Amino acid sequence: MPMTLSPLLTLEIVLTGCAAVLAGYFALVNIVRRSRFVINRVFALISFITLCLYLSLGALLVAPGFEYRTELGRLFFLLILGATQLFFHLTEIFPRWEKRSPGWFIALSALPGLVLAGALLFTDAIVVETVQQDHLAFRFGRFFIAYIALFGLYIFGSFLILLYKSSFLRNQSFRVQIFYMFMGTNLGSLLILVFTFMLPIMFNVHAYKNIAIAVSGSLLLLVINYALSDERMLDFKRFYLRGIYWVTVFALLVGPVYAGVEFGMGRVVFGQTVPAPALAFGVFLYLFVFYRSARPRLERFFQSEYRAFERNVLEFFQELSGLAGAGERGYVEFFNNAIDMLEHRFGIARATFLTRDRAGDAFEFSYSLGERISLSPLPADGELARALVEYAGLIDRSMIFTDERLAEKREELIALFDRHDIQVAVPLFDYEKRLIGVILTGSLVSGRPYNINLLQALELYRIQFELTLANAIMLDEVKRTQAASHDRLVVRTIKGRIIPRTLAQIDGIRLSSLYKNVSERGGDYFDAVAINPDTLGIFIADTADLGVESGLLGLELYAALRSCSEKYEMPEQVLGAMNWVVCTSRYSEKYAQALSVIYSSADGEIRFANAAFNPLAYFDSERGNFIDLDTKGVPIGIERGFSYESGAVKAHPDSIGVMYSNGLVNARNRDGASYTIGRVKDLIRINRGDSPAVLARRILADFEQYTDGTVLTADVSLVVFKIE
């Protein structure tokens, strides 16, 4: 006769299964994608042990008559102890860069757990028997108190370690995150202690202990996984708010629906049983109204603080874009006002702007907000300047601790930041990636550390400020060489600066390009940048033929692309940053059609986002045919705040992608027939075994033969890449 499951037992089994899936996912992610650090490998082991714990609990729930249930129960308690002990050891080595416990102390603190594990698994001194009454229960031995004491010791020790580190780490910004992590782990551990040990042992209440194990264990894994995901980008407050928001949404979706179904099933109203269609319609109506009306309001409530900050950032950049116009005096007013606005909008108490001197040997004082930071002149070959060049992005105090690229310079940079009370160093580069200026910011008026949202706003601010400074220097150079006397010379000079001679490469993908510089009044821009060692960004755009404005638009795209840090790992983020820069620019009101492609060797995916450009022609090596990869999007510079969408495709080995401008497909032969992308696809299909460089030469030869004797009216650009 089949076993009938009670609602509570069904809920226990479902939650335990979900918790097991989550634990398995965390174990897999931290082994496959984050295994370079010991701390991630320890967490992967914790997740795997937790997975086994949930599997053993699920087996006890599903098969209460299992022959070896006592042994399985002992294994269950062993896994609980093992996960708790490893969590204690993880807190000893977290964070990985500061205040790690010495190896001898870790080994010594592990001994009691190992001894107790042997006694638990091979004797009945701790768990005598697993019994099945109206609930899953255990009969404990005389040394179970030792198990409870050691379990509590590891939990309490973890609390003390996290509490200590939240107060004494040198990385002040990370102290706040550890405190929030401490609160989350406290809640999970408290649930385990209350529902798993206190209520069953002290009050004989067993009803919710299995649910508490599934929920609290999942909560602990979620908190720790987030803490280890990327130490540079942690925002636990936002993480918790987002989690509470989704739990609230889930409860408000499931709870009323369950209550309605439970109440409506078989209910007699006016002498008639409630029909199923009426019940289904009522459920649908509630879900529709809630998700369309209540959910957005709920989201705004939970995100109110961050939305206010986003509005502040938007207003800041609107003010920034409305500052003084070009010209020598206009540039000075822009730089001065742009720095003064940092206090009003972001509460930055002081900031100092340094620019490179004519000789290029040092960075001299140019302007200051509040008390001047006394680091002028800043040597161009000094530790900070070299770190800014190598890092190619803003450096705040927390990054010095958390980013491995700054590890060798950590002590020198921290000493420098402490000595001059610097919180963030904002580098400014020209179009040749030469450091031309530095903004040094001090503490906030509130005294709090910089959070990730403020740092991201400063990154956008850096791009805008850098663009203005680079344009000022660029136009000054053009003026000195008398290139500004003629649009064509300006455009030629700019295109000579921004069109790459070689494309950046990373392991797993090879690129080549075809370029015919036809237009002297603007044209195409394409480029490739290595965002990080396993992520490559590829970009192509058409700035039209509008003279100097097209040239300046190309400069803005070039500066924005080259300024994109490793935070921009998605193509829609790249287009969004470019769109923001162009829309808020004071130099041009034009727009550009563009296509952004991101290849990640870590997950083997090609992601793409389109801003009204030609689609990515992609030859899938597994299917043996071409597909056009496209998304909807307006040109860059049309609508500020536009959210670009992206798509993704699996990057199979030997697959080939082609990005091309209108100049290629609009070129005509003597008969007036256009050159088509179909010819390119046929060439690639026939010669798909060739390298991108050979394919580009074949396409160029075919194109020149086809258009022989005709006049080209637009730049011809093509980028071809091949997955290795």
**pLDDT (tens digit per residue) in 79-136:** 989 999 999 999 999 888 788 888 888 889 889 999 998 888 888 889 888 876 666 7
The residues spanned by each domain of the chain are 7-234, 249-302, 316-479, 498-723
Mean per-residue pLDDT for 648-658? 93
pLDDT of 32 higher than 60: yes
Q: Give the pLDDT of residue 566.
A: 61
| Claim: this prediction has a pTM higher than 0.75 | no
According to DSSP, the residues that pair with 127 across neighbouring strands are: 140
User: Please, are residues 570 and 591 in contact by the beta-carbon 8 Å criterion?
Assistant: no
Tell which residue, 547, 430, 549, has the closest CA to residue 489: 547
DSSP-assigned letters across all residues of 300-315: HHHTHHHHHHHHHHHH
pLDDT of 590 higher than 70: yes
Q: What is the pLDDT of residues 59-73, one digit of tens each?
A: 888 877 777 888 888
Q: What CA–CA distance (Å, rounded) separates 80 from 689?
A: 54
| Beta-carbon count within 10 A of 77 CB | 22
Q: Give the pLDDT of residue 331.
A: 65
pLDDT of 173 higher than 90: no
Which segment, 364-378, 413-427, 452-466, 469-483, is predicted with the most confidence on average? 413-427
Tell which residue, 154, 156, 176, has the closest CA to residue 167: 176
Q: Give the pLDDT of residue 224.
A: 92
Tokens of 159: 């609390």
394: Cα separation from own chain's centroid: 17
Mean per-residue pLDDT for 275-295? 87
Q: Give the pLDDT of residue 498.
A: 79
Q: What is the CATH number of domain 498-723?
A: 3.60.40.10
Amino acid letter, residue 551: G
Q: Give the pLDDT of residue 427.
A: 92
**pLDDT band at residue 309 using 50, 70 and 90 as cut-offs:** confident
Instruction: Determine if residue 246 is left, alpha or beta; phi over 0 gives left, psi from -120 to 50 gives alpha, anything else beta.
Output: alpha
Q: Give the pLDDT of residue 471.
A: 76
Q: What CA–CA distance (Å, rounded) separates 664 from 658?
A: 12
What's the angle, vertex CA 279, arms to CA 277 and CA 284, rounded to 5? 90
What are the φ and ψ backbone dihedral angles of 507, each rounded to 5 degrees?
A: -65, 135
Half-sphere exposure of 405 (CA within 13 A, CB side): 15
Q: Give the pLDDT of residue 184.
A: 87
**In angstroms, how far is the first alpha carbon of the chain from the final one?**
58
Amino acid letter, residue 141: G
pLDDT of 656 higher than 90: yes
Mean per-residue pLDDT for 295-317? 84
Tokens of 420: 């001059």
Amino acid letter, residue 458: L
Topology adopted by domain 316-479: Beta-Lactamase (3.30.450)
User: Please, are residues 595 and 632 in contact by the beta-carbon 8 Å criterion?
Assistant: no
Q: DSSP letter at 326?
A: S
pLDDT of 693 higher than 90: yes
Place of tokens 């031995």: 141
Mean per-residue pLDDT for 511-533? 83
User: Please, are residues 188 and 216 in contact by the beta-carbon 8 Å criterion?
Assistant: yes
Mean pLDDT of the chain: 85
**pLDDT band at residue 266 using 50, 70 and 90 as cut-offs:** low
**pLDDT band at residue 482 using 50, 70 and 90 as cut-offs:** very low
Q: What CA–CA distance (Å, rounded) separates 538 from 545?
A: 23
470: Cα separation from own chain's centroid: 28
Torsion 525-724-405-184 (CA) sign: positive
User: Please, are residues 380 and 445 in contact by the beta-carbon 8 Å criterion?
Assistant: no
pLDDT of 597 higher than 70: yes
**pLDDT band at residue 484 using 50, 70 and 90 as cut-offs:** very low
Torsion 18-23-24-26 (CA) sign: positive
pLDDT of 477 higher than 80: no
pLDDT of 26 higher than 90: yes
**pLDDT band at residue 703 using 50, 70 and 90 as cut-offs:** very high
Half-sphere exposure of 666 (CA within 13 A, CB side): 12
Torsion 93-98-103-104 (CA) sign: negative
Amino acid letter, residue 647: G
C-alpha torsion angle, residues 261, 265, 269, 274 (rounded to 10): 90
Minimum mean pLDDT range among 414-423, 428-437, 486-495: 486-495
Collapsed DSSP state (helix, strand, coil) of residue 368: strand
**pLDDT band at residue 422 using 50, 70 and 90 as cut-offs:** very high
565: Cα separation from own chain's centroid: 11
CATH 3.30.2090.10 is the classification of domain 7-234: no
Q: What CA–CA distance (Å, rounded) separates 595 from 616?
A: 8
Q: What is the pLDDT of residues 446-458, one digit of tens each?
A: 888 888 888 888 8
Amino acid letter, residue 445: V
Q: Give the pLDDT of residue 475.
A: 67
Q: Give the pLDDT of residue 270.
A: 65
Q: What is the pLDDT of residues 525-571, one digit of tens each?
A: 889 988 888 889 999 998 876 667 777 777 788 878 877 656 677 89
